Structure 1
Amino acid sequence: MTMTEQYAAHEPARAEIDALRGPALIEFGAPWCGYCLRAQPHLARALQAYPGVRHVKVEDGSGRPLGRSFRVRLWPTLVFLRDGVEVARLVRPDGAEAIEKALRQIGG
């Protein structure tokens, strides 16, 4: 799967995320967030080499249950899952290398 460009129109429920099979990357952020915008080229570069990783882009904010269930505090927060279980997490990544390392950990 390629990188998801747009934030999901509807936030998935935590049960849906926990039920995901295989490698997945949940990206929490906001379309107006400068840190999130700067991370996009790094994400795109890293995800190019991992087409088997499902990328779910979730707009986060106050009162959003999915972000709170993952204890997201800063954007972007990248949560790397394998079969619905968190394996790695990056907050405000500043390069593709750290993202690629986390993708290798989930077997993307």
Structure 2
Amino acid sequence: MAMQHDYTATAPARAEIDAMPGASVIEFGTSWCSHCTNAQPLISAAFADHPGVRHLKIEDGPGRRLGRSFHIKLWPTLVFLRDGVEVARVVRPVRAATVAQALEAIDPQ
């Protein structure tokens, strides 16, 4: 699995997320968000050591059901899941190490 680079407007249903096996990260944000843009290099750096982790970049905003189901307030928010269960969450990361630590929680090497 590879890191996803673009936010998608089409989100899976929450039931699909909850049923995902293995390690997954859902990144909520938008392409026009400066915090999201600034975080991309450090998110990419952290994912380099975890190529098997599923990465979904979901466009968020008012009326977006998946984001509301995870109570997303700020962008980017990364939700780290193991077998559909939230294990960690990073909001507006400023260090790759913070993202890497959360990735280790779902994908120990």
Partner residue in 1 for 2:32: 32
Residue aligned with 1:67, SS: helix
* CA-CA distance at 1:50 after TM superposition: 0.1
Partner residue in 2 for 1:2: 2
Number of positions where the alignment pairs a residue of Structure 1 with one of Structure 2: 108
Q: Deviations over 1:19-64 (max 9, x none)?
A: 1100000000000000000010011101010011000000000010
* CA-CA distance at 1:6 after TM superposition: 1.1
Q: Can you give the 5+ residue segments of structure 1 that lack an aligned partner in the other structure?
A: none
Partner residue in 1 for 2:104: 104
Contact 1:18–1:83 (Cα < 8 Å) also in 2: yes
Residue aligned with 2:17, SS: helix
Whole-Å Cα distance in 2 between the matches of residues 107 and 21 of structure 1? Answer: 12
- Matched residue type, 2:77: T
Q: Deviations over 1:77-100 (max 9, x none)?
A: 000000000000000000100000
* CA-CA distance at 1:13 after TM superposition: 0.7
Q: Identity of counterpart residues, as a percentage?
A: 58
Whole-Å Cα distance in 1 between the matches of residues 2 and 94 of structure 2? Answer: 20
Matches within 5 A, 1:50-61: 50-61=50-61
TM-score, with structure 1 as normaliser: 0.97
Partner residue in 2 for 1:87: 87
Whole-Å Cα distance in 2 between the matches of residues 9 and 68 of structure 1? Answer: 14
Partner residue in 1 for 2:20: 20
Q: Does 2:45 align with 1:45?
A: yes
The CA RMSD measured in Å over matched residues stands at 0.9
Whole-Å Cα distance in 1 between the matches of residues 61 and 9 of structure 2? Answer: 14
* CA-CA distance at 1:9 after TM superposition: 4.0
- Matched residue type, 1:96: A
Residue aligned with 1:74, SS: coil
Whole-Å Cα distance in 2 between the matches of residues 93 and 101 of structure 1? Answer: 12
